[in-house]
Every structure is written in C-alpha cells, then in structure tokens.
C-alpha cells in the first residue's frame, strides 16, 4: 500500500489529503480563523466546580468554558501510606489558576475537553513531565522491539527519571542517538512551558503545537509515503527546512506542484469531499450505505439496492456486506466520524458469514490512525463500535445547521404548511373582529394555494366570511409565513 500526500495552501486555509492507491482516505482542514486547539496548553481559571459530576468548568479564553473531569486532574504524588485524593472539590476551587491542555476540540454545543496532566510531543516521543512511567505505542507489536525501546528510554532519561515518556509508533527501529536528541528537545520545550506559565495571564496560550503541515510530517507513518506534493512554494520551502532538520527521510518525497490546475482537482479530491457530505454512499455492486450523523451517535444502514447477485439471496447479502465493511472503514476515516457508531448490516442467516463480515471490518479498521473498538453482532443484528473523537467531523467543519429545516434534514410539505395557514386564519378570525386577511408566504406556497388548492381557498373564505389575499414574499422560506389582519 502506497500513500501520497496532497497539500493545498491558501491564505485562508490549509488542506491535507491522504490518497492511498489513488483513493482519498483522509482529509485534514485547518482554517486561519479556526485553528484546531488539541495539544495547546492554556493558562486557565476554574469557573465552576461540580461535585455531583466530579468535574469542573475551566475558562481558557474560548467562547465556551472547557470541561475538566477529576480523572484528568494532575494530583500531587501521595506520601507513603496515604491514599491519592480523588474528590474534585478537594483538588480544585473556584477562581483557582491552573495550566490545562486541550484533548478534544469544542464539538457542536460542547466546550473543549481538557486535562491538567500536561504532555509535550516530539517526533518519536511524548513527554509526560508529571509521570515517571514509560509506555510504548500499541502499534509496535514486536515484543523484542518494545523491550528494546523501553530499555533505551530508561537509560537515556538519566537524571530526568521523574519524567515519563510514551514511545510513538515512528520510533520503531530508531537508534539511541535519535531518541536522545528527542529527549533533549523535549526537555528544552518543557522548560519553556514552565517559564511562560509564570508570566501568562488566564486565557492566554502557554504552548502551541506545530502548524498542520509540519505536524503531519512529524506524525506520519513514513514507511508508506511515496510522494508529498505541495502547491505553495513558501510552504514547500518551510517543509524542506523542517524535514531536513527533523525527518530527513521525508525530504526526498517532497515535491512542489506549480501547475495551474488546482492540485485537488487533478486527483479528484474535491469531488470525493463533496460525496463525503452526502448521506448516501454508493457501492460498486449496486448496493449503498446511508450514513446519519447526530450529536449522540452515528448510524450506518447497509442496503442491497440494485444488486441481485448471480446465485442466491444469501450470497448477495454476504457480498454486499463484505463490500460495505470496506466502504464503512474508509468513510469513518474520510468523514472523521467518532463516538458511538451503530452499523446495521443486512441480516445474514449463516453464522460464518457474520464472522467473516465482522473480521473484514476489523481488518479494514487496522489502517485507521484513530483508536477503534468493535463489538460482536448484537441479538438485533447490529454491530456496535466506537472510534476515538478528538476533532470535528468533516461535516461539522464544512457545514452549518440549515436555517430552513433547523438541522432536521427535512422540511414540511406544501400541503402541511397550507393547512397550518388555514388553521391560523380560522384561529385569528374567531379571536378578533376583522375585515380582511392577508397571507404573506413564499412564492411556492402562494402558487399552491392559488393554483392547486384554489377551491379550498374559496371554501375557507366562505367559512370565515372575510376576504383572504395572498402575497408572495421573495425572502420567505417554505415554512415561514405571516397572517396579517386588517
């Protein structure tokens, strides 16, 4: 499997697309006025302590206060024989100033999620200054390599034995010298954080991670990258400098794209992004997925559609579900769907088919950078899974709630709106002594009344015994109307 990175840069936004074997699999978008804050350390102020929830709200200078759970509060080391304090009301008090790090960006109506267990990332390591343990990425599955890396870090941290480290996937096979350089860099970075904490005011940034493009270079699984194409000469020059210093093996992959045709158009990325905003996803077999994203969970329904198979119904269902498993894994990454996900595969009567579809889904999800957990098929035939959510989904980044339907994804029929208007006219006439009624509505509602339901309008006029006049308003939506009494 080969990966290609396409980077599109404008003054307003930066977009990074991952293309695997010619197919778009992931997209990151960072807008100049709405930069993601995961990893950023703020000087915060405790606004409210909620003992019932064992949590607190912390003002970090954003529109909404951030949420800090007691499990994310850094506690002082317990003395020998003492239990660690776990009550939020004993650990924090209103008005208290503390440094917190964003672990989840604000999503929808929720503020950011933060922790006071601060970390600082580098190319191969993540330093945990308040911990003393050493962890190794679960993606490094060779036990000998895990032991080697853990022993190396134990030796290299030396006097900094009170600081803990997480060894990142990129460190697999890396020599001691490179790890030593990372530890020294992290030490300097942390000292800078400590100095800035002394001078920063509440709501100000103490530490900010790298910009999107450099962050991608640092965190990439470099073994699969074949080419990195950048359409900005300035960003390309910055990446060359960054790669030469920190990730020299990527320098050979960098390529400036000077073409007049937009780089995303050249590879069909724009079309794929548009498709990823639709609820319906077509499968090659003729089946399709229907993806519904809500605030609480995402549901995915699998349908055979026009696929009838060559032999029997069970084979048709099995093949559709197998194809759907691959498509679902890709759509989760592409749309960046997180939280609880419920998949309704087409019912399969053969137990072995169920197992194979579930294994196919799990195997396809192995490519996902986000942590996932898949449960067995439920008695109702549903697959329940979770995917770690740390940033907004593609839909949340690119779309806003519809002002016409208030986010329902539906609007009332002309008949429904027409009957509502009729009832409102009757209600008003019974309440007030009036001479006439004027209905202000959208042009399509006025046309429906005057053309399709002119008889009903005449009957309503006779019933209320006052003349009814219709007036089309250019900027009214279908469900927006006013009944004016005269």
What are the φ/ψ torsions at residue 269 (nearest 5 degrees)?
Answer: -70, -40
pTM of the model: 0.74
Q: Which two tokens stand for residue 168?
A: 């990142």
Model confidence pLDDT, tens digit, residues 321-331: 999 999 999 99
User: 3-class SS at 281?
Assistant: strand
Of the candidates 193, 178, 188, 344, the one whose C-alpha atom is nearest the C-alpha of residue 246 is 178
- The pLDDT of 345-367, averaged and rounded, is 91
Q: What is the total residue count of the chain?
A: 486
H runs (alpha helix) in 95-231: 143-157, 176-199, 212-219
- The pLDDT of 459-471, averaged and rounded, is 91
Q: Which residue has the tokens 């060359």?
A: 240
What are the φ/ψ torsions at residue 125 (nearest 5 degrees)?
Answer: -135, 160
Model confidence pLDDT, tens digit, residues 233-288: 999 999 999 888 877 888 899 999 998 889 998 889 999 999 999 999 999 888 89
Determine contact, residues 319/364, Cβ cutoff 8 Å. Answer: no
Model confidence pLDDT, tens digit, residues 20-51: 888 899 999 988 777 778 889 999 999 999 99
Percentage, residues of the chain above pLDDT 70: 95
DSSP 253: T
| DSSP string covering 212-250 | HHHHHHHHS-GGGEEEEEES-HHHHHHHHHHHHHH-HHH
Determine contact, residues 101/139, Cβ cutoff 8 Å. Answer: no
**CB atoms closer than 10 angstroms to residue 434:** 13
Distance CA 419, CA 26 (A): 46
Distance CA 345, CA 268 (A): 29
User: What is the model's pLDDT at position 100?
Assistant: 95
The model's confidence at residue 306, banded by pLDDT at 50, 70 and 90, is low
The model's confidence at residue 408, banded by pLDDT at 50, 70 and 90, is confident
Model confidence pLDDT, tens digit, residues 117-170: 999 998 889 999 988 889 998 888 889 999 999 999 988 887 667 789 999 887
The model's confidence at residue 81, banded by pLDDT at 50, 70 and 90, is low
Mean pLDDT for all residues in the chain? 88
The model's confidence at residue 309, banded by pLDDT at 50, 70 and 90, is low
């Amino acid at each position: 499997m080969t990966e290609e990175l396409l980077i599109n840069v404008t003054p307003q936004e930066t977009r990074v697309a991952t293309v695997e074997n010619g197919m778009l699999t992931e997209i990151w978008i960072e807008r100049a006025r709405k930069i993601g804050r995961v990893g950023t350390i703020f000087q915060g102020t405790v606004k409210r302590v909620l003992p019932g929830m064992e949590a607190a709200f912390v003002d970090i200078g954003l529109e909404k206060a951030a949420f800090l759970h007691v499990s994310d509060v850094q506690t002082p080391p317990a003395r020998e024989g003492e239990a660690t304090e776990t009550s939020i009301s004993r650990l924090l008090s209103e008005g208290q100033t503390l440094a917190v790090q964003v672990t989840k960006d604000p999503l929808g109506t929720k503020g950011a999620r933060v922790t006071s267990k601060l970390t600082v990332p580098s190319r191969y390591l993540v330093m945990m200054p308040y911990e003393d343990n050493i962890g190794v990425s679960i993606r490094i599955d060779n036990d000998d390599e895990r032991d080697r890396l853990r022993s190396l870090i134990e030796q290299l941290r030396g006097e900094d034995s009170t600081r803990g480290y997480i060894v990142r996937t990129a460190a697999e096979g890396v020599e001691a010298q490179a790890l030593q350089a990372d530890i020294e860099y992290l030490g300097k970075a942390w000292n800078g954080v400590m100095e800035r904490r002394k001078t920063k005011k509440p709501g100000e940034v103490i530490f900010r991670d790298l910009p999107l493009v450099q962050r991608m270079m640092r965190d990439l699984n470099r073994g699969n990258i074949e080419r990195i194409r950048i359409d900005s000469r300035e960003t390309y020059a910055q990446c060359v400098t960054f790669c030469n210093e920190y990730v020299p093996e990527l320098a050979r992959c960098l390529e400036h794209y000077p073409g007049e045709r937009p780089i995303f158009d050249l590879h069909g990325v724009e079309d794929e992004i548009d498709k990823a905003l639709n609820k319906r996803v077509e499968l090659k077999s003729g089946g399709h997925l229907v993806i519904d994203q809500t605030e609480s969970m995402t549901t995915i329904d699998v349908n055979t559609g026009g696929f009838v198979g060559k032999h029997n119904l069970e084979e048709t269902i099995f093949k559709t579900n197998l194809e759907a498993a691959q498509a679902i894994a890709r759509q989760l990454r592409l749309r960046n769907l997180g939280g609880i996900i419920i998949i309704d595969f087409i019912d399969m009567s053969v137990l072995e088919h169920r197992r194979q579809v579930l294994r196919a889904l799990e195997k396809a999800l192995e490519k996902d950078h986000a942590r996932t957990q898949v449960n067995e098929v439920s008695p109702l035939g549903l697959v329940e899974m979770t995917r770690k959510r740390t940033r907004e989904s593609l839909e949340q980044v690119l779309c806003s709630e519809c002002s016409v339907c208030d986010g329902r994804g539906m609007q009332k029929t002309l008949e429904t709106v027409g009957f509502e208007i009729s009832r409102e006219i009757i209600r008003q006439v019974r309440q007030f002594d009036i001479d006439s009624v004027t209905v202000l509505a959208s042009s399509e509602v006025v046309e429906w009344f005057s053309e399709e339901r002119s008889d009903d309008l005449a009957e309503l006029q006779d019933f209320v015994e006052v003349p009814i006049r219709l007036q089309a308003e250019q900027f009214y939506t279908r469900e927006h109307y006013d009944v004016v009494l005269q």
